[in-house]
Structure formats: C-alpha cells, structure tokens
Amino acid sequence: MKRTGSGWIRRGVPRFAGILLLGLAPAAAAPESVATALVVSVDVSQSVDDVRFRLQMEGVAEALEDPSVIGAITGNPGGILFAMVTWADRAHLAVGWRRIAGRDDAAAVAALVRATPRQAGEFTCLGQMFRTVTAGVLPALPLPAERVVIDVSGDGIDNCTDADGLAEAHAALLATGATVNGLPILVPGENDVVGAGAYRAPGYGLLPTPLPKDRTSLEQWYRAHVLGGPGAFLLAAAGYGDFSRALRRKFVIEISALER
C-alpha cells in the first residue's frame, strides 16, 4: 500500500483517509484498514413526509441490526465503516463515520440513526449530494477502505441541478473510485412516470429537464444518472413500507461484495 496525493491505493483500488474516528481503539489495537466503507444517502425532500421519514430511519436502523447484515459485517476483518447522509436542498452528514465490528457497534449506530432529526428542505438536489459526498464525506474516512459504496435511496429525480451539472457531479464522485448503487422507492400513482416537462432549480427559475420528454420510469432514471462504479446495481423498494426489506438485502450484497 502506498500514499498518493489523491488518497490511499492498494492493488489499484483508491483509498481515502482523514481524521481519526472518535471512539476508535488506540492505534496499536486498531485495524489498519477495512474492506467496506458504506455511505447510506437518504432523500428527505418535500415528498418525504414525517411518516415516510420515520420509515426510512427505522429501515436503516433495522437493517443494521439484522442478523444477516451483522453476519456480513463480521465476515469482514475489522468490520466496516458506516456513515449516513440525508439530503434535500442541501446534503447533511447525519451520522459521521463509525466503525461497526459487531452487534454492539451496530446497535449503537442504529440508535444514532433513529435519533436523527428531520431535515428541512423542499427539493431533490441529488447533484448537491454527490458534491457533498465527494468533497466532504469521503475525504474524512478515518481508515483506508478497499471498497467505498454510496447507497442512494429516493422517490424522485433531481429537480434542482441542470443536466450538465448533474453529470459533472456524478462523474467527480465516480472518479474517486467509489461505487454508487441505487434504491429507488416506487410509489404507485406518484412516481410511475418521471422527467417530463420542466423543473425548478432554486435561484435559477425554470430549466429544461435533463431527461428526454418521453415517458420513463424512476428505475430507468436511476440507472442513467445514479448508478456507477465497479459492480454497481439497483434494487428497488415497492413503496416506503418495503424500504427496510430492500435495504437489508442491499446491505448484505454491498458489505459482502457479492456479485449481482
């Protein structure tokens, strides 16, 4: 392993490093690296009411506590690194980097997730979230990670970034070596068809949509604008009530680096 100006590299895989993690064991006892660093990125825009917000937070917490997920975590020497970002008009690091090495660690992080307050915001600013993760979250990784996975969930398309800006933000995130996976939340009657017409960007008025004018689905949009990087995949939730189930399955795949 060697250090470069852009991060940690081992066997050709980009690494990231930053400040030491609070609560991490003394340096002599701490692992030198982890296999997986996982960022859970959750849409909390206007379409997400209080009930939906709580379903998402509970879904993340339940996934962390699930025996199959715990099994995947403990199958990684040193456990995993975990962080959670919530995003609407702006992206916010709701749970900073924590190392999860076993059941007790997972329960402690799940408690932090459940205690996350609702974030104000109207729009679905996916491009802003990409930029925040690239510039602020990944550089703060406390240990080198062989795989960095960004798990993006939401029920709509970006409605405050122009097409070029969204593509640039997405490309910059992928240039770090991270994998971006998608968990679109499909709500019948609400987001069956997305992308037609125009959308409002805060401060910029009406701009043309980055999507073609023809009909498309949220899953198709996620495949085109969210997914990227080694082994990227999409796993949809059939509504907010299905979010916890979908996320548990997704965590096992991501943490275990299973092939899709």
Confidence of residue 161 (pLDDT cuts 50, 70, 90): confident
Q: Tell whether the model's pLDDT for residue 252 goes beyond 80.
A: yes
Whether 154 contacts 124, CB under 8 Å: yes
Mean pLDDT lowest among 6-20, 82-96, 152-166:
6-20
Q: DSSP string covering 191-244, please? A: SSS---SEEEETTTEEEE-SS-SS---HHHHHHHHT-BSTT--B--BSSGGGHH
**From start to end of the chain, where are the E strands?**
2-4, 7-10, 13-15, 34-43, 80-87, 91-100, 145-154, 179-184, 198-201, 205-208
Average the pLDDT over 50-57 and give the result: 94
Q: Length of the chain in residues, anyone?
A: 260
> How far is it, in rounded angstroms, from Cα 45 to Cα 181?
19
Predicted confidence (pLDDT) at residue 8 exceeds the cutoff of 50? no
10 Å CB burial of residue 59 (0-12, 13-18, 19+) is buried
Closest CA to 151 of 63, 210, 79: 63
* Mean pLDDT (whole number) for 145-152: 96
Output the six-digit token pair for 253. 């795949």
Q: Is 139 exposed, middle or buried (0-12, 13-18, 19+ CB in 10 A)?
A: middle
pLDDT tens-digit series, residues 94-119: 999 999 999 999 999 999 999 999 88
Q: Which residues contact 254 (CB under 8 A, 6 or more apart)?
A: 36, 38, 149, 151, 181
Positive or negative: CA dihedral 161, 150, 27, 114: positive
Q: Comparing C-alpha atoms, which of 256, 30, 32, 51 is closest to residue 145?
A: 32
pLDDT exceeds 50 at position 9: no
pLDDT of residue 210: 55
Residue burial 154-170, b: 16+ Cβ < 10 Å; e: rest = bbbbbbbbbeebbeebb
